[in-house]
Chain A
Amino acid sequence: MANASPVFVRREMVAAQPAPPGATGATYWLRTKLFATPKDIVLTLLAIALIVYIVPGMIEWLFIHASWTGENRAACATIAQGGVLPDGQSGACWAFIGAKFQQFIFGRYPFDERWRPLLVMALFVILLIPMLLPKVPYKGWNALALFIILPIVAFFLLIGGSFGLPYVETPLWGGLMVTLILSFFGITVSLPFGIVLALGRRSELPVIKMLCVIFIEVIRGIPLITVLFMASVMLPLFLPDGWTFDKLLRALIGVSIFSSAYMAEVIRGGLQVIPKGQFEGADSLGLSYWQKMRLIILPQAIKLVIPGIVNTFIGLFKDTSLVSIIGMFDLLGIVTLNQSDANWSTPVTPVTGYVFAGFIFWLFCFGMSRYSAFMERHLDTAHQR
């Protein structure tokens, strides 16, 4: 037996056989993905018809017939409307966006001072990027700088009036700047308040629990616009004589109250999935309530709900557009305002403005939702056993 040497031992794997003919390539893909069954053939043809019906017209309107340059409405209006374009031609008026672009970003912020919002934006991006990347260390310090130091610095930079900077009153602020300020401030305030409310809702003290439940459910039960109306008409009533609130501050308070209630529910979701053993373990170590929450429970719970927090932020970012209803000029508000500019009023101006604003909103929200999906995958693998 020992001498019997095998005649043949295969030393390498057999090469993979090519797929059977007709099971690869474009034809196969077409056959299985588009024309698998008679029903699929009908659906595919319908879809192609829909695309052919919509897309060429859209491209023509957005790009081919669009007016890219111009000083006033003449560039975008047809001859019958007092412009230069041939009658019957309709295309986007990008010249309008070009002329108003700075206003859409900064509102009526003084021209010479626009480096200030730009600087704040740059600081924000510099602090945000390491915060978003899971691998970068020092998250605690980063969060401190982003959520506490940056808002303070940004406030003094933007409003001015000290350190030799000219004072810029808030009614001059506008555009994308206000949208970003509102949503960032809203999320910064709502995180701590949301945590407190969520803890309160799970508290064993009945009075505190009841108060938190009432607050959360009432705010979640009413539309944001009523909260904003409340902030803008009722806050002045609540204050003693002679005190006034800035309009922006009122909107900030309204947005913060609203998002705190939603944030509380997101964080409660995280608290609920922390196993009971973690609470008991912390108790048995002799940690106090706040030590237990700060060191054991919240770090786990918040990490779990990061996608939820980002989703709340997306919702908040979209909802800030509502402040245009109470007379503030965020991105949507200032786009709407500029449409009534007689210098630019043509039938295509409103649509162009909304397409532009929609694209900006979409870009931000889509980016954030991609990030949320990435975090979800990232956290998912970390928790697999």
Chain B
Amino acid sequence: MAGMALNSDTPHTKKASSLIYDPKARGIFYQVLTVALLVLFVWTIAQNTIHNLQRANIASGFAFLKGRAGFDIGQSLIAYSSDSTYGRALVVGILNTLQVAIIGIITASIVGFIVGIARLSKNWLIAKLAQVYVEVFRNIPPLLVIFFWYKGVLTILPQARDSLHLPLGSYLNNRGLFVPTPILGAGTWMMLVALLIGIVCTVVIARWAKKRQMRTGQPFHTVWTGIALIVGLPLVTFLALGSPITFDFPIAGKFNLTGGSVLGPEFMSLYLALSFYTAAFIAEIVRAGIRSVPKGQTEAANALGLRSNAVTRLIVLPQALRIIIPPLTSQYLNLTKNSSLAVAVGFSDVVAIGGTMLNQTGQAVEIVALWLVIYLSISVSTAIFMNWFNTKMALVER
């Protein structure tokens, strides 16, 4: 080092060494080098890929999406047949992914919050039960849970003719869960309008009640009023119109059930496994969130004379939620991503359908690109929504 410093006295080497030791110049050099290497790498890969695709006679581009799919899909939310296009099959897949993810998220949140609160219960037995649940589900691969439900539980259910009769006219057998389908008669839109009116009224009343409580301190039973409005108004409309919604009940035939709609064992096993698996993680997040609220907060609230219900609702939960929401978001995203395990049991989610398309067309690059775009957009939109919710819940500092 010292020798180099001495050498740099001559003007020529001084310029060179100052460039070498200039952090800015070095930074630019490294970045240019990285980009050049990356471009070279991508270019080599692209050349190889193009060559390999030409050799295997595989088309490129997204034109294949307009082609006839030619495969059937077990469960679809929109009209689909094997004559539909690949593009439509992909949409079916996206909808199926979203369906299982949304229902799974709702169930996992409910179970997770209950188990998380149960883990903090003063009741020893309840706390232990919740702990066993969490420790069992957290330490087992979700794929195994899916297989367990699919091959272990759902396929050894009775055959169609000895279906288990469940409440509300549903049946359960090894072909899935048969539930009644609502048939929307004339005037259903009136109920929808009633529901909307109920929601709007609740929001307005909640605002008014909050204002009045701020001004006079008088509380108002917003929750009960809201439930009465949101559930009651459509119900009254329903009765007033003479029950416009009828149900198509599944009817037990000799070998199969007719009517109603069916949730296949693939969907059920995926949904149950994802919900119970993710619920274990959510329970831990909820527990950590509640534990992070200082004890003084609860004690102060008790000292103010709030009841235990109000302490939880007004003091503990709002503070705990701030801690809970960010990791909860990543659990929701994990559940959505784990729904891709559907491919293992043959539920037609976007990965399973993409895989079938890949086998038929061989257009790996395009299909992987589609997967990337679809999952990234789901991730980004969930993240945006949860960030919005997070800022809304965040501490408003003075």
Contact = CB atoms under 8 A, between A and B. Distances in A.
Interface of A: 29, 32-34, 36, 40, 43-44, 47-48, 50-51, 204-208, 211, 218, 221-226, 229-230, 233-234, 236-241, 314, 318-319, 321-322, 324-325, 332, 336, 339, 347, 350-351, 354, 357-358, 361-362, 365-366, 369
A332 B143 CA distance: 9
B165 interface: no
Contacts, number: 156
A322 B351 CA distance: 13
A40 B148 contact: no
Interface string B128-159: 01000001101111111001100111011000
A241 B55 contact: yes
B49 interface: yes
Contact of A221 (B48, B49, B380): B380
Contacts of B80: none
Contacts of B192: none
Contacts of A233: 358, 364, 368
A50 B27 CA distance: 65
B140 A365 contact: yes
Contacts of A222: 337, 371-372, 375-376, 379
A237 B48 contact: yes
A286 to B, nearest CB: 10
Main secondary structure on chain A at its contact with chain B? helix
A329 B51 CA distance: 32
B355 A358 contact: no
B125 interface: yes
Contact of B124 (A33, A241, A321, A347): A33
14 contacts: A34-B123, A48-B125, A51-B129, A207-B35, A224-B337, A225-B343, A226-B375, A233-B364, A233-B368, A237-B52, A322-B143, A325-B341, A350-B152, A365-B140
B49 to A, nearest CB: 5
Given A354-B148, A361-B141, A229 B126 contact: no
Given A362-B140, A369-B139, A204 B372 contact: no
A207 B55 contact: no
A50 B125 CA distance: 11
Interface string B2-31: 000000000000000000000000010011
A18 B338 CA distance: 56
Interface in B341-398: 341, 343-344, 351, 355, 358, 364-365, 368, 371-372, 375-376, 379-380
Given A211-B34, A218-B376, A225-B343, A43 B123 contact: yes
Interface string B188-207: 00000000000000000000
Contacts of B343: 225, 325
| Candidate in A44, A350, A365 with the most chain B CB atoms within 10 angstroms | A350
Given A204-B27, A205-B30, A321-B144, 18 more contacts: A33-B124, A40-B122, A43-B123, A206-B31, A208-B34, A218-B372, A221-B375, A222-B371, A225-B340, A225-B351, A226-B368, A314-B139, A319-B141, A322-B341, A325-B143, A336-B147, A336-B151, A347-B156
Contacts of B51: 240-241
Nearest to B340: A223
B98 interface: no
Contact of A205 (B27, B48, B376): B27
A272 B133 CA distance: 34
B151 A211 contact: no
B293 interface: no
Nearest to A29: B124
B45 interface: yes
Contacts of A205: 27, 30-31
Contacts of A43: 121, 123, 125-126
B53 interface: yes
Contacts of A29: 124
A258 to B, nearest CB: 11
B140 A33 contact: no
Nearest to B371: A226
A360 to B, nearest CB: 10
A224 to B, nearest CB: 8
A339 B152 CA distance: 11
B397 to A, nearest CB: 21
Contact of B125 (A44, A225, A339, A369): A44
